[in-house]
Amino acid sequence: MPSYFERVDTSAFRPTSAVEGAWSTQEQHVAPALGLIAHAIERDHADRRGAELQLGRISYDILGTIPLERVDLEIRILRPGRTIELVEAVLSHDGRAAVIARAWFLQAADTRELAGSALNAMPGRDQLAPWAMGDHWQGGAVRSVDFHRGQREPGHAWAWLKPRIPLVEGEPVGRIPRLLGIVDFANGLTLRLAPTEVAFPNVDLTCHLFAEPEGDWIGFDTTVSIGPTGLGLTETVLHDERGPVGTVQQILTVRPMRG
145 domain residue, yes or no: yes
Of 194, 197, 188, give the one whose Cα is nearest residue 132: 188
Asked if residue 118 has pLDDT above 90, the reply is: yes
C-alpha Rg value of the chain to the nearest Å:
18
CB 88 within 8 A of CB 78: yes
Compute the distance between CA of residue 49 and CA of residue 57 in angstroms, rounded to an integer: 18
115 domain residue, yes or no: no
pLDDT for 71-112, tens place per residue? 999 999 999 999 999 999 999 999 999 999 999 999 999 999
Q: List the beta bridge partners of residue 73.
A: 91
CB 203 within 8 A of CB 75: no
114 domain residue, yes or no: no
230 domain residue, yes or no: yes
pLDDT confidence band for 259 (50 / 70 / 90): low
- Assign 148 to helix, strand or coil: strand
Q: How many domains does the chain have?
A: 1
121 domain residue, yes or no: no
250 domain residue, yes or no: yes
Give the amino acid at 89.
A
Residue 214 DSSP label: -
pLDDT confidence of residue 258: 74
Identify the CATH number of the domain in which residue 149 sits: 2.40.160.210
Domain range for residue 231? 5-107+126-256
Q: List the beta bridge partners of residue 92.
A: 72, 97
pTM given for the model:
0.96
Compute the distance between CA of residue 154 and CA of residue 136 in angstroms, rounded to an integer: 14
Report how many helices (DSSP H) and strands (DSSP E) the chain contains, helices first: 2, 15
- Assign 119 to helix, strand or coil: coil
pLDDT for 202-246, tens place per residue? 999 999 999 999 999 999 999 999 999 999 999 999 999 999 999
119 domain residue, yes or no: no
156 domain residue, yes or no: yes
pLDDT for 164-199, tens place per residue? 999 999 999 999 999 999 999 999 999 888 888 999
Helix then strand then coil, in percent of the chain rounded to 5, is 15, 45, 40
